[in-house]
Structure 1
Amino acid sequence: MAELTIEIDPGEVGLDADRLARIDQHFERYVDDGRLPGWLAVVTRRGKIAHVGMHGQRDVEAGLPVQADTLWRIYSMTKPITSVAAMVLVEEGRLELTDPISRFIPEFGASRVYVKGSGLKPVTVPATEPIRVWHLLTHTSGLTYGFHHAHPVDEVYRRNGYEWGVPPGVDLASACAAWAGFPLVFQPGTEWNYSVSTDVLGRVVEVASGQSLDDFFAERILGPLGMTETTFSAPEDDLERLAALYSPDPETGRIARNDAMGAGALRRPTCLSGGGGLVSSPADYHRFTQMLLRGGELDGQRVLGDRTVAYMAQNHLPGGADLEQIGRPLFAETTMTGMGFGLGFSVVQDAAATKVLSSPGEFAWGGAASTAFWVDPVEDLTAMFFTQLLPSSTHPIRSQLRTLVYQAVVD
């Protein structure tokens, strides 16, 4: 079990300890007034953990507190790991960013694009451009999520059982075959829409590597980085460490237990979701963020080349646009204005436009249960936040955390 402990006095790395304490003071109120069950926050600078804060319960009903080794459903914080997996294969020449994904998933060879009509009777035209690997990495593929409730194609996903996850018994290959048969929301490469793209990317990784996604993760990323507690379900021996999942009560706004959604992490899934399937510990995900901050290497284990990581953290949206210009106006795990999107991460383009303290080039993502992380190469800083409140749009946790972290940087 990896340790998660403070490694350096904050003052030695340009952080003010009293100001860091504001993180804990602020988010303690979220627990005390019933908006969050419990949480854990980590701030590092110059490769050293300078702050660890935690408060509340990992399981309110059982009276179990949040601890440093609590396990969390990280949902879409799985996406950066899948994106790194794809780039490992790019570095080896087994994938190219421009490859049509039909090379690996033939069902995508005849994609059609919605132009009008209802979810029951969509009118479509052939795709003018094939979905390529980079479209999956940047969410510009034209795929969608059934839970968006924003477009007739979203309804197609829901009617076929693809709203939050996949129908019972469906594996990743079958899910991809189904998605390939649904219309695209737009022509590939023309817009940005948060979607099952990274799940499809996980299938591309499987076919290109000849390994299941969990085996590839274990061999090429998790094993080398010592991330022994990051899996597609919580180990049976560690279920007591897994935090319970909560959602806001529609009447009171206070937390209400959500075992219907939370149960998915209790057993190995039939469908290995590269878009949202992993359970992890803060110590494990800390190692992943440090690998990214250090340009693909940690403790002598190199997962990616440093140029590759820097390339992933550039804005890859067409024309250098930000998400506000090119993105569909719907839910994502990021704000849109001033924010670009790289190969698996949101990327700060214009810090002033985001209206939140941040650095140009900072890259990040979050998960549906209000978890979040970011890596800031300019300030040599990372931050992580873990809780279990679904959906992540319930409270402005991420913008508040950014402000609270950056106001503590004083060198």
Structure 2
Amino acid sequence: MLNQSVSQSVSRRTMLRSSAMIGVGAAAATLPFSGPAFARESAAVRWPTVANLVRGYVERDIVPCMVARIGLGQGEADTIAAGTRTFGGSGGVDEDTLFRIYSMTKPITGLATVMLIDDGLLELDQPLADVLPAFANMQVQRQYDGPITRDNLEPAVRPITIRHLLTHTAGLGYTIVQNGPINAAYRANGIVPGKVSNMALAQEIFGGAPAPSLADFADGLAELPLVYQPGTRWSYSVGLDLLGRVIEVASGQDFASFLEDRIFTPCGMTSTGFRVKREDVQRFTGNYFLLGGIPVPIDLPSSSVYLDEPAFPFGGAGLVSSARDYDRFLQMLAGRGVIEDTQVTSAAAVDLATSDLFPETLASNGRFQRNGRSFGFGAGGLVGTGETEGLFGWFGAAGTVGLVNKRWGLRHTLMTQYMPVDAYDVQGDFPLAVANDMARLARNWPRSVD
């Protein structure tokens, strides 16, 4: 079943096996990533493993296209691209090609929330009910994903907080994760992560019709029980979607406009938004679902669901962006709120958003763990600890990657489009390729050439 497959793609995150290698700190700290000798090298020569990965996926007809963008510090990023926007199409791809980034929306929504904390309009440990009163006195399922009946419900032992929403510890569910009765209840109330396609069958598989507005989404969610006690464990959820409504109420501005005014415009992210304009269809990619290894189109540019105004801006999975734009977001994070000469937000806000925000009430087995490794969680993205310290970012349901290592200034974005994401391990292959090329540069770069 597709829901189970998507859920496994979240829970199995095989790319995290490589994240220790992303912290190739000594290499990044000592390499001369500027100067005439470095400039003479082409992107494919500088990043040969990444170039081979990008070409390999496209040449094997696994995906129609792939774009990688890698930058260091505040320097200009390299772009490696291959393929066409759709299978059988003629339009090439580059750093300005548009992709559905799905859950890579979450760190953007997370930072927007932290900016309001920095403004003094929200507090990290503020009860959600202070902003949205309907979330007072929540009920919780005794048996996870069990029946929604009186004998399987108990009162929440603590209120949901803003911190909980940022870190997926509020106890909220997700239609791409839950398989029990709560899944049907979420669908009935329009508590879905977004629209994937205008195809009726595809939309039914991916969650059904969304609520008509963010306010309706929040109200419908408040009527349903939590799947875990708040603050006890990480569980992938609609928490970042709900924060879109929190941002609206706290700021007095609609969510999409807030992102445009406070993040996209100052960062120079001119290609990022919740819909694609008709004049931009020529740089928009197709999205494909793999059936028996065969890519079947589920959302093509000319008839895409993203050409229509969404029911509401989905803060958990709704954005379309380009490799250039998302790299600018990561560049701003690497600059602790500054990109080029623009102060987008304070260093304190970025430091908070990219730090481990897990609550102290978390159960001993409640952290975000994959392949025997424990990670922290910040404002909508994973946070590296120990040997991965400085790492922050997240991934998208159609194979996209957006990671920054603040400690060393390494930022890397990958754009492609296929579902389900766990059909191939591109989200593990890409960080490994970046790490391999960083290590090669550290070994081979002649220090005297400049």
Task: After superposition, give the CA deviation of every residue in 1:252-298 in whole Å (9 maximum; x if it has no partner).
Answer: x1322112998331111121111111111222112111100000111
Relative distance call for 1:350 and 1:154 in structure 2 (3 A) is: farther
**What is the one-letter code of the residue matched to 1:348?**
G
Query: Secondary structure of 1:364's partner?
Result: strand
Task: After superposition, give the CA deviation of every residue in 1:356-393 in whole Å (9 maximum; x if it has no partner).
Answer: xxx32211111111111111122221000001112322
Query: Secondary structure of 1:48's partner?
Result: coil
- Distance apart, 1:64 and its partner CA: 2.4
- Asked if 1:48 corresponds to 2:75, the answer is yes
Q: Is the helix fraction higher in 1 or 2?
A: 2
Give the equivalent residue in structure 1 for 2:249. 207
Give the equivalent residue in structure 2 for 1:316. 357
Q: Summarize the alignment of residues 325-340 of structure 1 with structure 2, pairs less than 5 Å apart.
A: 325-327=365-367, 337-340=373-376
Give the equivalent residue in structure 2 for 1:345. 381
Q: Summarize the alignment of residues 87-126 of structure 1 with structure 2, pairs less than 5 Å apart.
A: 87-116=114-143, 118-119=146-147, 121=149, 123-126=152-155
Q: In the aligned structure 1, how far is the partner of 2:40 from the partner of 2:107?
A: 27
Q: In the aligned structure 2, how far is the partner of 1:168 from the partner of 1:318?
A: 30
Tell me, yes or no, if the aligned pair for 2:264 and 2:272 is still in contact at 8 Å.
Answer: yes
Which of residues 293, 299, 316 in structure 2 aligns to 1:275? 316
Higher relative contact order structure (alpha carbons within 8 Å, sequence separation ≥ 6): 2
- Greater shift, 302-311 or 87-96, is seen at 302-311
Relative distance call for 1:151 and 1:10 in structure 2 (3 A) is: farther
Q: In the aligned structure 2, how far is the partner of 1:8 from the partner of 1:17?
A: 18
Give the equivalent residue in structure 2 for 1:174. 216
Tell me, yes or no, if the aligned pair for 1:11 and 1:17 is still in contact at 8 Å.
Answer: no
Structure 1 stretches lacking a partner, 5+ long = 1-5, 352-358
- Asked if 1:192 corresponds to 2:211, the answer is no
Q: Summarize the alignment of residues 39-78 of structure 1 with structure 2, pairs less than 5 Å apart.
A: 39-78=66-105
- Distance apart, 1:161 and its partner CA: 4.5
Relative distance call for 1:158 and 1:169 in structure 2 (3 A) is: closer
- Greater shift, 67-76 or 163-172, is seen at 163-172
Q: Summarize the alignment of residues 23-34 of structure 1 with structure 2, pairs less than 5 Å apart.
A: 23-34=50-61
Tell me, yes or no, if the aligned pair for 2:139 and 2:226 is still in contact at 8 Å.
Answer: yes
Give the equivalent residue in structure 1 for 2:391. 362
Structure 2 stretches lacking a partner, 5+ long = 1-32, 195-207, 443-450
Q: In the aligned structure 1, how far is the partner of 2:69 from the partner of 2:359?
A: 34
Q: In the aligned structure 2, how far is the partner of 1:13 from the partner of 1:407?
A: 21
- Greater shift, 307-316 or 87-96, is seen at 307-316
- Greater shift, 8-17 or 108-117, is seen at 8-17
Relative distance call for 1:188 and 1:168 in structure 2 (3 A) is: closer
Q: TM-score, normalised by structure 2?
A: 0.80
Aligned-residue RMSD, C-alpha: 2.9
Which of residues 81, 84, 107 in structure 1 aligns to 2:111? 84
Q: In the aligned structure 1, how far is the partner of 2:35 from the partner of 2:280?
A: 29
**What is the one-letter code of the residue matched to 1:283?**
R
Q: In the aligned structure 2, how far is the partner of 1:372 from the partner of 1:194?
A: 17
Which of residues 122, 135, 145 in structure 1 aligns to 2:174? 145
Q: In the aligned structure 2, how far is the partner of 1:7 from the partner of 1:229?
A: 27
Q: In the aligned structure 1, how far is the partner of 2:361 from the partner of 2:82?
A: 40
Which of residues 405, 409, 412 in structure 2 aligns to 1:376? 405
Give the equivalent residue in structure 2 for 1:285. 326
Tell me, yes or no, if the aligned pair for 1:13 and 1:46 is still in contact at 8 Å.
Answer: no
Query: Secondary structure of 1:54's partner?
Result: strand
Q: In the aligned structure 1, how far is the partner of 2:267 from the partner of 2:187?
A: 37
Query: Secondary structure of 1:365's partner?
Result: strand
**What is the one-letter code of the residue matched to 1:248?**
L
Same amino acid, percent of matched pairs: 33
Tell me, yes or no, if the aligned pair for 2:191 and 2:220 is still in contact at 8 Å.
Answer: no
Give the equivalent residue in structure 2 for 1:258. 298
Runs of 4+ deviating beyond 6 Å: 6-10, 12-17
Q: In the aligned structure 1, how far is the partner of 2:89 from the partner of 2:42?
A: 36
How many pairs align? 392
Relative distance call for 1:118 and 1:377 in structure 2 (3 A) is: closer
Q: In the aligned structure 2, how far is the partner of 1:247 from the partner of 1:258?
A: 6
